């Protein structure tokens, strides 16, 4: 169905998002007879040094007709065809075999007009087989083919743009005696650590004499990975695949393949390739695919390092609808190097959104068992086109260690998890309109709402915000001063749930505020009535001990207005939230609680801590942590003495390593 849809889309818009055979492909040869009974062979023309334009069209195709009648091909034919420079041939290839001769001549039911009259270049009819050989999917598809058989999708370009393609240096006919060229890397693209990868390349002879030898090397940066001396007898424009041997890689590597022997043209002597290191996994593989609207285009397989297919799903075997999820479990031998390959016959992968469908997805994972993930081999989200993609798997006996959330209070707590992986999510209100909405909540918790549309706590600039954010911390000598002010603003109306009758707020008898953080000092606010749209201020100052959210309860008696008279609906309580952020100005000081100069609000230790005690190593009460001699050196110290032992943390009368460990154990504890 997408094939038809694409043709319709092309009929409407005349464009498509991707090529059929990609640029740089070798054009398939064909022999065809035109409407005048003349036979043509593509490679014969190319061997003569001609360039060829192939216009795959259909008589009913609107964009095809528009381009056909634009005069571009007539101009190219007259300038570069047999009556011009004689370097170019143009073929109009009618590729829909359901059309008729009458359609071609403009008299049938499925045509845009007369395609024959006035067309001086070659017309070939009933050529769907050629269109299929070129993996065609939409009309018009227009290729330029160079004498070396390499094609470029030139599309509906101007005459000048077409000429620029076939007159470029890399599209010239063979002219030099000795001119080997590398077309592209064809070897392995995935590797397991230490496992050899078979490396190969397509070699073409662009020389006018037969190519009999050349040296080809694989280079990793400036290092030669391997070198191969090829010999043979390759005719002009002939192509052969050269097996270069194998190489092992311990990491993902990009490399170049170079012809290192001398020839008459070094411009085409290099090609590039890459090997992706396989992901470590287990022998149990899960393939999960969510389809777009064309699941029948998908195929996939898993093969070993010898190319043997372990498991596969062929084209047309996936039957379902858009959004269906298909899961396959595959067991491979416990050890070895494997490659997962996914194909899409149409060439657009699972990127269905561009065609009015939803994008599909594919994920390949390895598992310890069906409940415990080992690793992700391949992941694709449908955001781009592909014809074929690969991913490697190094299957071995991974130790059964489960990563996951180890916090029992978290939403996704995994009691089987042995290693914390940082994935924990926590409960929170998941309703965006609630006062305490948590955007990254992992599971639902109770939500809090302002019941009668009262504005949130905040100054005038904050009254429309969902939470109140307070001034940033301000630096002060020996600490941080917090000093803020917020406003309680009563306004709005309430609805009676049973009748949906709406009543305006008359006033609010404000009786109290609770929930202020315990470090808030000198809190002042005025209780009493608040009329509609009236404001009262609350102010406080203090030194915050830690950041966080503080729920503040505002209580009082609410009165609604009925025919202008106050009517009490009882005691009401509203929740608002005070958000204290991290201190952007860390406070330096002594952070050891047992030090004599411990600073409770310090967030960064500055090495100033004072530990009085005996500093004489020969004394019985020597303290290894003391850095100030307090004159207590002697045979010991009496823990019952008022002075005690300043560094005797366990009060056993002896200062030793045990006390040191207790002291160090306090480091990093939160200050109360």
Confidence category of residue 632, pLDDT binned at 50, 70, 90: confident
Least confident of 20-29, 155-164, 223-232: 20-29
Confidence category of residue 329, pLDDT binned at 50, 70, 90: very high
Q: Is the confidence at residue 242, as pLDDT, over 90?
A: yes
Segment 552-573, tens digit of pLDDT: 777 888 888 888 888 888 888 7
Query: How would you list the strands of the sheet with 180-185, edge to edge?
Result: 180-185, 196-205, 239-248
Segment 412-469, tens digit of pLDDT: 888 877 788 888 999 988 887 665 678 888 899 887 653 332 233 333 332 333 333 3
What average pLDDT does this structure show over 159-174?
A: 89
Cβ atoms of residues 593 and 666 within 8 Å: yes
pLDDT score of 488: 55
If we measure between CA atoms, which residue out of 416, 436, 420 comes closest to residue 428?
436
Rounded to whole angstroms, how far apart are CA atoms 392 and 80? Answer: 49
CA distances from 198 to 158, 243, 335, 548, 618 (A): 43, 8, 19, 58, 73
pLDDT score of 451: 36
Is 298 strand, coil or helix?
strand
Confidence category of residue 126, pLDDT binned at 50, 70, 90: very high
Segment 341-369, tens digit of pLDDT: 999 988 889 998 888 889 999 999 998 88
Segment 577-611, tens digit of pLDDT: 665 655 545 566 787 888 888 766 666 787 888 88
pLDDT score of 462: 28
pLDDT score of 548: 67
**77-78-84-87 Cα dihedral, nearest 10 degrees:** -10
Is 546 strand, coil or helix?
coil
Confidence category of residue 6, pLDDT binned at 50, 70, 90: very low
Q: At what angle do helices 72-80 and 159-166 cross, to 10 degrees?
A: 40
Rounded to whole angstroms, how far apart are CA atoms 235 and 46? Answer: 13
Angle 250-252-258 (CA atoms, 0-180°, nearest 5)? 100
Q: Is the confidence at residue 178, as pLDDT, over 60?
A: yes
pLDDT score of 576: 63
Cβ atoms of residues 214 and 269 within 8 Å: no
pTM of the model: 0.50
Q: What is the residue-averaged pLDDT of the chain? A: 80
Strand duo 151-153 + 180-185: pairing: unpaired
CA distances from 565 to 503, 506, 530, 560 (A): 11, 8, 15, 8
Q: Is the confidence at residue 546, as pLDDT, over 90?
A: no
Is 129 strand, coil or helix?
helix
Q: Is the confidence at residue 643, as pLDDT, over 50?
A: no
If we measure between CA atoms, which residue out of 484, 542, 468, 538 comes closest to residue 510?
538
Q: Is the confidence at residue 50, as pLDDT, over 80?
A: yes
- For residue 582 the two structure tokens come to 């991290």
* Residue indicated by tokens 């609805």: 495
Backbone angles phi, psi at 79, to 5 degrees: -85, -40
Segment 69-107, tens digit of pLDDT: 999 999 999 999 999 999 999 999 999 999 999 999 999
Rounded to whole angstroms, how far apart are CA atoms 471 and 483? Answer: 8
Least confident of 326-335, 337-346, 385-394, 547-556: 547-556
CA distances from 39 to 8, 34, 179, 613 (A): 32, 6, 31, 108
**Position with higher pLDDT, 57 vs 354:** 57
Q: Is the confidence at residue 218, as pLDDT, over 80?
A: yes
């Amino acid at each position: 169905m997408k094939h038809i849809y694409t043709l319709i889309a092309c009929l409407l818009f005349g464009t498509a998002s991707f090529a059929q055979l990609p640029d740089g492909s070798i054009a398939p040869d064909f022999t065809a007879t035109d409407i005048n009974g003349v036979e043509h062979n593509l490679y014969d023309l190319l061997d003569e040094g001609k360039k060829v334009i192939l216009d795959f069209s259909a008589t009913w195709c609107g964009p095809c007709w528009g381009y056909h009648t634009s005069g571009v091909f007539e101009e190219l034919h007259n300038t570069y065809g047999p009556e011009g420079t004689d370097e170019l041939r143009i073929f109009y290839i009618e590729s829909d075999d359901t059309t008729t001769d009458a359609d071609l001549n403009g008299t049938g039911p499925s045509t845009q007009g007369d395609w024959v009259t006035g067309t001086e270049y070659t017309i070939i009819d009933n050529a769907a087989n050629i269109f299929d050989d070129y993996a065609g999917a939409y009309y018009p598809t227009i290729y330029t083919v160079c004498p070396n058989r390499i094609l470029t999708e030139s599309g509906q370009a101007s005459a000048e743009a077409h000429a620029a393609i076939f007159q470029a240096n890399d599209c010239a006919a063979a002219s030099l005696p000795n001119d080997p060229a590398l077309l592209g890397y064809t070897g392995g693209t995935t590797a397991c650590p230490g496992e050899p990868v078979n490396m190969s390349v397509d070699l073409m002879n662009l020389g006018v004499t037969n190519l009999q030898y050349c040296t080809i090397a694989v280079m990793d940066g400036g290092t030669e990975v391997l070198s191969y001396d090829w010999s043979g007898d390759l005719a002009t424009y002939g192509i052969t695949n050269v097996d270069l041997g194998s190489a092992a890689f311990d990491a993902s590597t990009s490399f170049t393949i170079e012809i290192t022997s001398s020839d008459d043209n070094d411009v085409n002597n290099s090609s590039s390739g890459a090997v992706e290191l396989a992901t470590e996994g287990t022998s149990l593989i899960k393939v999960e695919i969510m389809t777009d609207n064309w699941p029948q285009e998908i195929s996939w397989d898993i093969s070993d390092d010898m190319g043997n297919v372990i498991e596969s799903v062929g084209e047309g075997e996936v039957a379902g609808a858009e959004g269906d999820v298909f899961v396959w479990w595959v067991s491979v031998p416990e050890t070895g190097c494997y490659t997962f390959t996914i194909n899409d016959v149409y060439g657009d992968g699972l990127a269905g959104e561009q065609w009015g469908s939803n994008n599909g997805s594919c994920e390949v994972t390895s598992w310890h068992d069906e409940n415990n993930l080992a690793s992700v081999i391949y992941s694709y989200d449908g955001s781009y086109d592909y014809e074929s993609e690969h991913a490697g798997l190094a299957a071995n006996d991974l130790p059964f260690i489960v990563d996951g959330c180890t916090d029992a209070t978290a939403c996704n707590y995994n009691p089987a998890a042995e290693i914390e992986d940082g994935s924990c999510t926590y409960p929170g209100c998941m309703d965006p309109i609630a006062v305490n909405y948590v955007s990254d909540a992992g599971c639902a918790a109770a939500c809090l709402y302002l019941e009668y549309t009262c504005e949130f706590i905040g100054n005038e600039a904050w009254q429309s915000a969902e939470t109140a954010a307070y001034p940033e911390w301000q630096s002060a000598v020996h600490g941080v001063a917090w000093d803020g002010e917020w406003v309680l603003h009563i306004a709005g109306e309430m609805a009676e749930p049973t009748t949906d009758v709406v009543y305006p707020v008359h006033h609010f008898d404000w009786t109290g505020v609770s929930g202020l953080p315990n470090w808030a000092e000198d809190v002042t606010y005025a209780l009493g009535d608040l009329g509609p749209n009236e404001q009262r201020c609350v102010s406080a100052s203090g030194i915050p001990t830690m950041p966080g959210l503080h729920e503040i309860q505002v209580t009082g008696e609410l009165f609604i207005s009925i025919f202008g008279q106050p009517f009490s609906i009882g005691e009401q309580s509203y929740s608002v939230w005070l958000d204290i952020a991290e201190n952007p100005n860390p406070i330096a000081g002594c952070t050891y609680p047992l030090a004599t100069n411990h600073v409770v609000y310090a967030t960064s230790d500055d090495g100033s801590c004072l530990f009085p005690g005996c500093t004489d190593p020969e004394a019985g009460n020597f303290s290894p942590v003391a850095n100030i001699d307090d004159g207590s050196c002697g045979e010991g110290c009496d823990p019952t003495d008022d002075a005690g032992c300043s560094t005797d943390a366990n009060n056993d009368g002896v200062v030793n390593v045990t006390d040191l460990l207790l002291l160090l154990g306090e480091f990093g504890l939160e200050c109360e």
